[in-house]
Amino acid sequence: MARQTERCPIDYWRPLLPQLNRSGIELDQRMQQAWEMCASRFVTELHLLTVLLKLNAQGLECLPDNWLKIGESIREDREGLRRSVLNPFPVIDRCHPGYAEIAARFDFPIWMRVSELAAKSRTITCNHFCRAISDTLLTPWQGPAANGPPLIEFLGFCHNEQPRKELSDFAHAPLVLEGMPRSRRVIEALGQVPPEPDDFQYVLCIEEGEIVFRAISVLGDFPMRASDGAIIGNRGLLTHLKENFGVFTTDETAELEEMIRNPKASEKDFQNFFEAHPHFFRRWDYREVYPQVYLTRQDQGPLVPDFILTNPKVQQATVVELKLPKPKLIRRQRNRDRFTDAIMEARSQLLEYRDWFEEKANRESLSAKVKMEIFRPRLAVVIGRSADFKCEIDRQKLAARTADIEVCTVDDFVEYAKRRLITIRGQYPARARK
């Protein structure tokens, strides 16, 4: 029976990762690392399987022994295969405005199935991804797809099996596999990849004279040759730095830039983004981020600031209000440049929040939640674009006139992320020399 698409939470025409984030579905640590290692490429299931194989994901022993070698050969020779049907690593212009959308919907049927399998746990694992590949290629598909699945062509290349039927889209995959028995067995085996336990492990470290635990993932063992020629075994460990040091990935920064450019993006969209990526607030060096905390009042409804940031160690806090990038920031008149009403309105709102903390009872009622008693927090509004300022001095002059609040633009967060950007790039092993 053909699978249907009506209940799919994924929009065929939009980039994939932002949709998963908005649906409350995330990649587990191994899948996230694999995606980041593919971030500089046109991402297909071939790329992800190759990287997962390098990351020692369980159950991928079913892939052909020559998988990596063939992949490297095609990668190096792809200029000659540009017009060939057997081109699982197509050359795509990454500067093309539709690149993100193309990358998202190329494997749309597979990722629709992935989201179905991960619906209960809300976390996508290697098991979900491999099962989705198997289910999708072995079951007739009726729905949108940008192209046929390159995995079948690649497996045929590895096994020297030529598809006997035209592979024009995902709907033809089961028929094509009937004439490719070895490739079909690989795809069936992918459906049997066992669920992996949480691969977070811990190492004991000594920091400042104290024994502490640090979360790590084991990437695998590898040999190294010492200076005296001896072979020494080593183990590759992945440390999880994002929450501790606020590092960024290319897809996070690209998602924020896309939202800034999108005229239909709402305040709720930005709220959801910063809730999903709280390390963007590390530009203020805060350790705890609390979204939409209710500040209750006896005679009126509660106040709900978008974010409260705290650093209990140094007893500092900031209340942050989010606005859209659209409003103009500055009203320019002859010798009377000033912030616009949008800034003044946000300032009034922030001062109302700060006044709430003047009452001792209010502070004490909130202290258990935010792990400190906040008194006269700093105030900040995120609004508008940096291009509204003529220069650095122009910005400083205007900021000095409203010294009780900090005016940040959405571009400030993008620039901060780019400065802290860590890109993990996957490299194929060199092809064996003849």
Concatenated DSSP letters of 350-411? HHHHHHHTTSHHHHHHHHHHHTS---S-EEEEE-S-GGGSSSHHHHHHHHHHTTTSEEE-HH
> pLDDT tens digits for 409-432?
999 999 888 877 643 333 333 333
pLDDT class of 233 with cuts at 50, 70, 90: confident
The answer to whether residues 389 and 295 belong to one domain is: yes
Q: Read off the pLDDT band of 3 (50, 70, 90).
A: very low
pLDDT band at 194 (very low <50, low <70, confident <90, very high): confident
Report the phi/psi class of residue 82: left, alpha or beta, with left for phi > 0 and alpha for psi in -120 to 50.
alpha
Same domain, 234 and 262: no
Q: What are phi and psi of 314, to 5 degrees?
A: -110, 10
What would the mean pLDDT of 364-382 be, rounded to a whole number?
93
Q: Nearest to residue 35, comparing CAs of 136, 117, 111, 92? A: 111
Identify whether the C-beta of residue 33 lies closer than 8 Å to the C-beta of residue 200.
no
Per the structure, the count of domains in the chain is 3
Shared domain check, 357 and 233: no
Residue 426 lies in a domain: no
Say what the pLDDT of residue 143 is: 65
Domain-embedded: residue 400:
yes
Residues 6+ apart with CB under 8 A from 387: 411
356 lies in the same domain as 296: yes
Would strands 330-331 and 338-339 be described as parallel, antiparallel, or unpaired?
Answer: antiparallel
Query: Could you tell me if residue 141 is inside a domain?
Result: yes
The answer to whether residues 133 and 271 belong to one domain is no
Mean pLDDT of 2-22: 61
Among 159-163, 327-331, 339-343, which is the least confidently predicted range? Answer: 159-163
Looking at the structure, do residues 144 and 267 belong to the same domain, yes or no?
no
> Is 428 inside any structural domain?
no
**Mean pLDDT within 42-64:** 81
| Residues contacting residue 282 through CB under 8 Å, at least 6 positions apart | 245, 246, 420
Tell me, yes or no, whether 30 and 132 share the same domain: yes
371 domain residue, yes or no: yes
Parallel, antiparallel, or unpaired for β 330-331 and 231-239?
unpaired
Most confident of 53-62, 141-150, 282-291, 381-390: 381-390
Residue 268: inside a domain: yes
Domain residues for the domain of 377 are 250-419
> Mean pLDDT in the chain?
77
90 or 242, greater pLDDT:
242
pLDDT value at 319 more than 90: yes
Report the C-alpha gap between 81 and 87 in whole angstroms.
6
Q: Residue 195: what pLDDT? A: 77
pLDDT tier for residue 148 given thresholds of 50, 70 and 90: low
Residue 139 has pLDDT above 60, yes or no: yes
Inside any domain, residue 80 = yes
Given this model, what pLDDT does residue 168 score? 64
CATH of residue 364's domain is 3.40.91
Count Cα neighbours of 336 within 13 Å in the Cβ-side half-sphere. 3
Note whether 258 and 15 are within 8 A (CB). yes
Residues 385 and 265 in one domain: yes
**Of the candidate ranges 83-92, 298-307, 362-371, the one whose mean pLDDT is the lowest:** 83-92
Q: What is the pLDDT of residues 119-135, one digit of tens each?
A: 888 888 888 999 999 99
Residues across the chain: 434
Buried b (16+ CB within 10 A) or exposed e, 365-382: ebeeebebbbeebbbbbb
* pLDDT given for residue 298 in this prediction: 83
266 & 413 share domain: yes
Which alpha helices (H) appear in 8-163, and where do they start and end?
A: 16-22, 29-37, 45-54, 67-77, 99-105, 108-117, 126-138, 150-159
Is the pLDDT higher at 246 or at 347?
347
Selection from 90-99, 154-163, 357-366, 413-422 with the highest mean pLDDT: 357-366
Of the candidates 307, 302, 243, the residue with the CA atom closest to the CA atom of residue 270? 307
Asked if residue 430 is part of any domain, the answer here is no
Please indicate, yes or no, whether residues 281 and 414 belong to a single structural domain of this protein.
yes
Q: Do residues 298 and 222 both lie within one domain?
A: no
Do residues 289 and 347 share a domain?
yes
